[in-house]
Structure 1
Amino acid sequence: MKKLIGFTVLFCLMILASTAQQHPMPMKDTPKHIAKDTMPMEMDTMMKQDHTMMDDDMDMGNMSHAFSLHLPMSRNGSGTGWLPDASPMYGNMYHKKNWMYMLHYNLFLRYNNQDFSNKGVRGGDKVDAPNWLMWMGQRKAGNNGLLHFNTMLSLDAVTMGGGGYPLLFQSGEAYKGKPIVDRQHPHDLFSELSLSYAQALSKKADVFIYLAYPGEPALGPVAFMHRPSALYNPDAPLSHHWADATHVTFGVATLGVRLGNVKLEGSSFTGREPNDKRFDFDKPTFDSWSGRLSYNPSKNWALQVSHGFIKSPEELHASEDVNRTTASAIYSLPLPGSAWLNAVALWGQNKIKGHDGENALLLEASWLRNKLAIHGRYEYVQKSVEELNLDETIYGPGAVFPVNAFTLGFNYDLLHLGKTKLAGGSQFTLYHADSRLNSLYGKNPMAFEVHLRFYPALMKM
């Protein structure tokens, strides 16, 4: 506990030191097509109707999208993925000479109890601190070029240990030669180090290249920690390894083209998931591929479908390759009175040769008004004997178990530390799984969490 408190204090001091050096963003050079044409109409209306935005909210300045000079920064997701243009953006902005930078971060200091009613034998409780920090920058290259870099760091392995944190029915990756089950694995210290270049062919068309080690291929929706609907929930979804687990991949090369509000991209990447050595760099193999089609029909929606072949993702099942297919819809709506509604619906399927496809469905939403945020998540996931590390002689080879999880929680801003906000929150989860698992998990186990959250201010459009 003392180590976690010390880490939290150090984390906050680092953020405060960086925000104290912030330079004002000059507005006179803001491109007209960014300042006017791409501003969400709902946001424009909200700003005209309500001038009660918090004093420490920051202006987004003249930073454009990471892969286009002619799209708004609010469309940035994780990797090369798209969010709706109307999405809220959190972060601290900086300006120096020809470069523009943004700092984004999220830290939860929490107590987590999975199966607090002690119905089964697979629960657990822990004090830990899920966290990540992102630093990005970009500059124009000539009249029509855009150079961008992104770094994402996490000290999960320090604040929660190599085995991760308790999370019933979660699965994926390995630790000390054993599968990680009923726990969420920590992320690597270096979760993204990427460089990209985009060339504008016109206001309606761009081409770009994205290189990362590690980074995220064009597969799945925007990763959960970057979706506005999931920012208040410290837990990874149970569907993580069906939809967005490739967001930390050691070796990615992506080529893409945008025509209006449609984007087509393809990636070559390393299929093997990160190993349990969280502070090194895994070997790049570029043995897998993916393709993704994205479409933003309006400023409130971001849609995508994608498919990928993942070579030997699991260390303990090296002979198994996975074909992953995903589809998602992300929605964002600014509301009068400093309010926002964000929602996500996604589906993912993993298919291994000789096995039926295993499906996952997620519905997620958050509602924000001033200092209060309420969030919820529903998941349906098909977990196999292998995923849950069960004995096939008891449950049968190829057995699949449906799992349902319902989560409801809240966050409330308590105070401001410079440009950093401190919020308190809690959430409750009810699980309902196949009755064959009752001897291990009990019937309808429940989880409870309480946390403090450090995060940056909302940025004005």
Structure 2
Amino acid sequence: MKNYITLFGVLMLAVNVNAQQMDHMQHDNTKNAKPHDHAKMMAAMGNDTTRHMGMSSQFSLDLPMNRDGSGTSWVPDETPMYMYMVHGKKWMHMFHGSFFARYNKQDLFNKGQRGDSKFDVPNWFMYMAQRKVGSNGLFAVNTMFSFDPFTVGAGGYPLLYQTGESYKGNKLVDRQHPHDLFAELSVAYTHRVAKNTDISLSVGMPGEPALGPPVFMHRISAMNNPDAPLSHHYADATHITFGTATLGLRYKNVKLEGSVFTGREPDEHRYDFDKPRFNSYSVRLSVNPSREWALQVSNGWLHSPEEAEPQDNVNRFTASAIHTKMLGNNSYVATTLVYGQNRHHGKTQPAILLENSLQLKKTAIYSRYEYVQKDAGEMDLDAVFPGDPNFNINAITLGANRILTTVKQTNLTLGLQATLNASPKALRPLYGDAPVGFQVYLRITPSLMKMGGAKHKVDHDMMDM
């Protein structure tokens, strides 16, 4: 594990050094500027400022980069960015990632039979690039990789009450599956067809269809929590889809999208490319009513998503609201509310997630509450509970971390968290009344991004759009 930490740290530092060497941006108007709200500067100078500074969205020349979530989704414009940026003559390159080295023990007090413990390293790393095409075109490339198959293992990590996907012919239960080595390889082209109006096309192998909120790893409210939500497969699990195409139309702060994609979840072979089938569909409406809010509603028709239940099709509905508010140069509060539901084999099973992160300079305090309804079949308990009854599961997580040091725009953060699971009465003989999950971790990420190069620096507040 020490070798993985060292390798990732060297990679992050190398990217940062490269950014310092390649950054050729001109900041003639900002050299002596004092930090102030970028929204006011944008209003005074117009959207050309965004393009001049190289800060446009990957999917619109008229929107800020801060609005880009995972896939083609939106987050609030107020969202801070943790990444490295490299500016070339024609291309803008971005690097983003997160690397947790942790000890994770589920059922800390051994109250049930389902707990487990593990040292592991959940992680992901992104490279993104974009460039203008003519005066109205924008081309973007997105890649995402995860070394989970090596640092977590093919069977995933312990997580009480988690379900979804399979391993060695069995359903994964009380474990979160690892993400694929190739988590995203996608390209997108956007064309500005009129004032405040764009049409975009994104294709990926793998990629993310227009379904659900931004995936948990790319929500600023969830970035401190190394665990996937228990509602992951009710809302945002389609972020790794082997074969997807999305067409979107934006007018001002409203975007309508439709996707065709492969419904099946990735298989247990995490290093290869699954067969694309394009047998599923989704639609999503996104609205950003202000700089601090991002709303979406979506519906997906998924064909045979689970390998263990190949005849089971799922109708998935999601709705979410994300709010982010900057409190200062290095402080903010971010909150996400997600409702998701799966309708399949004659049942409608809902899930609710509420998560929050308060960043106060170097210290973060965060939480997550979830209510999820799962049945005996999903939890692989058919033989124990005939008739496939539903179980109502509640879990609340509280955590805190602190940045120990920042070297070359790279943060090393120490954190801990605990999760209290409220067991349904019928499951208490297996899980105990209220099993507690606990973990402590060291995390490596890029620091809060500041624009800059060898000659000039621009404070984050001036680029936080």
TM over 0.5: yes
1:320 corresponds to: 312
CA distance in 2, matches of 1:238, 1:417: 34
CA distance in 1, matches of 2:53, 2:423: 48
2:436 corresponds to: 446
Q: How far apart are 1:396 and its partner, in Å?
A: 2.6
1:262 to 254, 267, 272: 254
Q: How far apart are 1:25 and its partner, in Å?
A: 4.7
TM-superposition CA deviations, 1:405-426 (whole Å, max 9, x none): 0000011000123221100000
1:49 corresponds to: none
CA distance in 2, matches of 1:87, 1:40: 12
1:14 corresponds to: 11
CA distance in 2, matches of 1:90, 1:119: 39
Secondary structure of the residue aligned to 1:286 is coil
**RMSD between aligned alpha carbons?**
1.9
Structure 1 residues 342-353: aligned runs within 5 Å:
342-353=334-345
User: CA 1:337/1:94 → structure 2, altered by over 3 Å: closer, same or farther?
Assistant: closer
TM-superposition CA deviations, 1:97-125 (whole Å, max 9, x none): 20001000100000000001000000000
CA distance in 2, matches of 1:338, 1:197: 33
CA distance in 2, matches of 1:42, 1:68: 19
User: CA 1:97/1:419 → structure 2, altered by over 3 Å: closer, same or farther?
Assistant: same
Higher mean displacement: 395-404 or 164-173: 395-404
Structure 1 residues 281-320: aligned runs within 5 Å:
281-320=273-312
2:385 to 384, 395, 409: 395
Does residue 424 of structure 2 align to residue 427 of structure 1? no
CA distance in 2, matches of 1:236, 1:338: 26
Secondary structure of the residue aligned to 2:278 is coil
Is the Cα contact below 8 Å between 1:25 and 1:62 reproduced in 2?
A: no
1:385 corresponds to: 376
Does residue 356 of structure 2 align to residue 368 of structure 1? no
Is the Cα contact below 8 Å between 1:302 and 1:331 reproduced in 2?
A: yes
User: CA 1:29/1:175 → structure 2, altered by over 3 Å: closer, same or farther?
Assistant: farther
Q: How far apart are 1:27 and its partner, in Å?
A: 3.7
CA distance in 2, matches of 1:397, 1:27: 67
Structure 1 residues 92-107: aligned runs within 5 Å:
92-107=84-99
1:417 corresponds to: 407
Is the Cα contact below 8 Å between 2:382 and 2:388 reproduced in 1?
A: no
Q: How far apart are 1:336 and its partner, in Å?
A: 3.1
Q: Which amino acid aligns with 1:425?
A: G
Is the Cα contact below 8 Å between 1:139 and 1:148 reproduced in 2?
A: yes
Does residue 81 of structure 2 align to residue 89 of structure 1? yes
> 4+ runs of 1 displaced by more than 3 Å?
27-30, 38-44
CA distance in 2, matches of 1:287, 1:163: 27
Q: How far apart are 1:398 and its partner, in Å?
A: 2.7
CA distance in 1, matches of 2:270, 2:347: 32
1:75 to 60, 67, 70: 67
CA distance in 2, matches of 1:259, 1:375: 34
1:406 corresponds to: 396
Q: Which amino acid aligns with 1:415?
A: T
Does residue 191 of structure 2 align to residue 199 of structure 1? yes
Is the Cα contact below 8 Å between 2:221 and 2:335 reproduced in 1?
A: yes
Secondary structure of the residue aligned to 1:316 is coil
1:357 corresponds to: 348
TM-superposition CA deviations, 1:127-157 (whole Å, max 9, x none): 0000000000000000000000000000001
CA distance in 2, matches of 1:205, 1:279: 39
CA distance in 1, matches of 2:2, 2:307: 34
Secondary structure of the residue aligned to 2:99 is strand
Secondary structure of the residue aligned to 2:308 is helix
Q: How many residues align?
A: 436
Secondary structure of the residue aligned to 2:14 is helix
CA distance in 2, matches of 1:43, 1:340: 21
Unaligned stretches of 5+ residues in structure 2: 30-36, 44-51, 450-459
2:167 to 149, 164, 175: 175
CA distance in 2, matches of 1:17, 1:204: 38
Is the Cα contact below 8 Å between 1:293 and 1:305 reproduced in 2?
A: yes
Structure 1 residues 117-132: aligned runs within 5 Å:
117-132=109-124
TM-score, normalised relative to structure 1: 0.92
Q: How far apart are 1:29 and its partner, in Å?
A: 9.4
CA distance in 2, matches of 1:73, 1:451: 30
User: CA 1:209/1:343 → structure 2, altered by over 3 Å: closer, same or farther?
Assistant: same
Is the Cα contact below 8 Å between 2:106 and 2:158 reproduced in 1?
A: yes
Does residue 103 of structure 2 align to residue 111 of structure 1? yes
2:426 to 423, 431, 436: 436
Structure 1 residues 25-44: aligned runs within 5 Å:
25-28=24-27, 39-40=38-39
Q: How far apart are 1:39 and its partner, in Å?
A: 4.0
Secondary structure of the residue aligned to 2:150 is helix
1:184 corresponds to: 176
TM-superposition CA deviations, 1:37-80 (whole Å, max 9, x none): x9445999xxxxxxxxxxxxxxx942310100000000000000
CA distance in 2, matches of 1:39, 1:85: 11
Is the Cα contact below 8 Å between 2:23 and 2:88 reproduced in 1?
A: no
CA distance in 1, matches of 2:65, 2:357: 21
Q: How far apart are 1:8 and its partner, in Å?
A: 1.0
CA distance in 1, matches of 2:102, 2:39: 35
Is the Cα contact below 8 Å between 1:154 and 1:188 reproduced in 2?
A: yes
Is the Cα contact below 8 Å between 1:42 and 1:335 reproduced in 2?
A: no
User: CA 1:242/1:41 → structure 2, altered by over 3 Å: closer, same or farther?
Assistant: farther
